[in-house]
Structure 1
Amino acid sequence: MNDENRTYRDKPEAPQPLPLAVVDNHTHLDISRDGAPTPDVRRTIDEAVAVGVDRMVQVGCDLDGARFTERVIDEHPELLGAVALHPNEVPKLAEAGELDAAYVEIERIAQHSRVRAVGETGLDYFRTGPDGIAGQQSGFRWHIALAKKLGKALQIHDRDAHDDVMRILAEDGAPDVTVLHCFSGDVEMARECVERGYYVSVAGVVTFKNARDLRDALAQVPLENLLVETDAPYLTPSPHRGATNAPALVPLTVRALAEVKNVDVSTLCAALSENSERVYGPW
């Protein structure tokens, strides 16, 4: 089926299982698309495990998502959590006079032993206009400080804001473990991330025909700096672009990344699994 004719409700067939288990280090099991029902968490996990994605990081990026994350990570041993206020949430909460209270709740949930990252936080200049930039940057700095205070990893959302993301991380001092979620930078940025010791997380975009620049950038990243993710329900890898994404589709991204890195799939899987446990700890 052509991408243009596919609906978000179409369910892709399960890909060929991976030879070694890996981690989907960024998924949103609390989010649905285009009127579809919210994913059945147990079924979604089981379908992922069946193809070699046996661990996942559930990311809650607003208050409802953070509360959902707090609950499901206790119910499902395959899940760890990450919580934060998405950069697009921060200006809205500030305008409503609710930001300080939201920060208090995020900090409380972030202290949960199975919440292993603060994120996704960062900057998004695609949807927030100039009036929201200062608020986003302030929110980003708050989350950086929280990750360092709690000794947890930082997961970064960066959309159309590469220079400011890298600048603020340098100015404030990045946490010991910093992940560029859904990396979208160029070769120069990839090299700088590696020099700074950041992890680069690869989503389904790497499979898109028009993503040659991204593949060129990822070619510069050593295996020990790589992670893989879905960002489900978004960014579904080819050949299912346009369908609803799910952790079970990670093998498509892994196999595309193995081609970019010119390594066999087993070698890449072993590196991705080891990196994930180094970032988030044991499940």
Structure 2
Amino acid sequence: MTLFDSHCHLDFPLFETDFSHILQSAQHVGVKRFLVPSVGPENWSRVAELSSQHPEIYYALGLHPYFLKADYTLYQTQLMARLDARPTRCVAIGECGLDFAIKVAPALQEEALQWQFELARQYGLPVILHCRKAHNRLIQMVKAANLPKGGVLHAFSGSYEQGMEWVRLGFSLGIGGTITYPRANKTRQAVAKLPLEHLLLETDAPDMPLNGYQGVVNTPSQIVNILTILCELRNQTKQTVASQLWKNSNSLFSICE
């Protein structure tokens, strides 16, 4: 069984002291590839460095709405230069998106996201989307953006109907620890029916702890527990689901299997 953690922040300082052990633990349970998205200029170098040091790690470059500052335009040239010179291991734009639950002005978020959509078109890359309290507006922006490579909605926690809106746009859905909580009935019912070809596994480590692990640092090795719950909800075998999700991840990010 071969797994791909499509969204984990292995560059965060929390992992520095025990990085090798965390990576080995994940590999031991079958996680063979990792996608590390950036959140802003502060960690663009770090995610690229991790990828250059570890062939199993791929990365994305972008501006996360939570960390967005009004002076983000000062870094546009730098980001474009990195994309111009990028090795093949930079496989997406992100993490980017909309978060209307924070104090960052929605207009600023939308402006930055629109620019990142332009980058995705220019460089032929998929986008990794963050969305909180902004589903309708984000859908609207994506529909208008005409993104040839599509992307993934990270940390999907919506209904079947919401999930299908993304599927119809050609997007994938990142399935993480949310489905391990029995109270997440709406999302559990959704992932039981959504097309398997549009799902990816993710941990969002070190965040999004699984049910029963609250207060514990989340790590990529937990992806096997997410897979177990997903298979139970769909009434499918681990081998069937894992095999398809491995294909989905590599296909979205244009990585040879």
TM-score interval, smaller chain: over 0.9
Task: Give the alignment's TM-score, normalised by structure 1.
Answer: 0.85
Deviation readout 1:207-263 (Å, 9 max, x if unpaired)? 012111111222231111010101110012122132101111110101111112221
| 1:104 shift after superposition | 2.0
Query: Residue 48 of structure 1 contacts residue 247 of structure 1 at CA under 8 Å; is this kept in 2?
Result: yes
C-alpha distance in structure 2 between counterparts of 1:37 and 1:118, whole Å:
23
Query: Residue 199 of structure 1 contacts residue 226 of structure 1 at CA under 8 Å; is this kept in 2?
Result: yes
1:256 maps to which residue? 229
Taking only aligned residues, the RMSD between alpha carbons, in angstroms, comes to: 1.6
C-alpha distance in structure 1 between counterparts of 2:125 and 2:139, whole Å:
19
1:277 maps to which residue? 250
C-alpha distance in structure 2 between counterparts of 1:256 and 1:107, whole Å:
40
SS in 1 for 2:65: coil
1:229 maps to which residue? 202
Query: Residue 70 of structure 1 contacts residue 109 of structure 1 at CA under 8 Å; is this kept in 2?
Result: no
CA gap of 1:42–1:108, structure 2 versus 1, over 3 A, is farther
CA gap of 1:142–1:28, structure 2 versus 1, over 3 A, is same
Q: Paired residue for 2:42, among 44, 64, 67?
A: 64
Task: Give the alignment's TM-score, normalised by structure 2.
Answer: 0.94
Residue 158 of structure 2 corresponds to residue 185 of structure 1: yes
SS in 1 for 2:101: coil
SS in 2 for 1:269: helix
Identity of aligned residues (%): 29
2:3 maps to which residue? 22
CA gap of 1:39–1:79, structure 2 versus 1, over 3 A, is farther
| 1:37 shift after superposition | 6.0
Alignment of 1:154-165 (within 5 A): 154-165=127-138
SS in 2 for 1:40: helix
Query: Residue 230 of structure 1 contacts residue 245 of structure 1 at CA under 8 Å; is this kept in 2?
Result: yes
For CA contacts below 8 A with separation 6 or more, give which structure has more relative contact order. Answer: 1
Aligned AA (1:66): W
Aligned AA (2:101): F
Number of residue pairs matched by the alignment: 254
| 1:124 shift after superposition | 0.5
CA gap of 1:39–1:250, structure 2 versus 1, over 3 A, is farther
Q: Paired residue for 1:115, among 81, 90, 96?
A: 90
SS in 2 for 1:241: coil
Aligned AA (2:12): I
2:183 maps to which residue? 210
2:141 maps to which residue? 168
Residue 23 of structure 2 corresponds to residue 45 of structure 1: yes
Aligned AA (1:135): L
Unmatched runs of 5 consecutive residues or more in structure 1: 1-19
| 1:103 shift after superposition | 1.9
Query: Residue 160 of structure 2 contacts residue 194 of structure 2 at CA under 8 Å; is this kept in 1?
Result: no
Query: Residue 6 of structure 2 contacts residue 200 of structure 2 at CA under 8 Å; is this kept in 1?
Result: yes
C-alpha distance in structure 2 between counterparts of 1:246 and 1:108, whole Å:
32
C-alpha distance in structure 1 between counterparts of 2:214 and 2:83, whole Å:
33
C-alpha distance in structure 2 between counterparts of 1:110 and 1:25, whole Å:
20
1:82 maps to which residue? 60
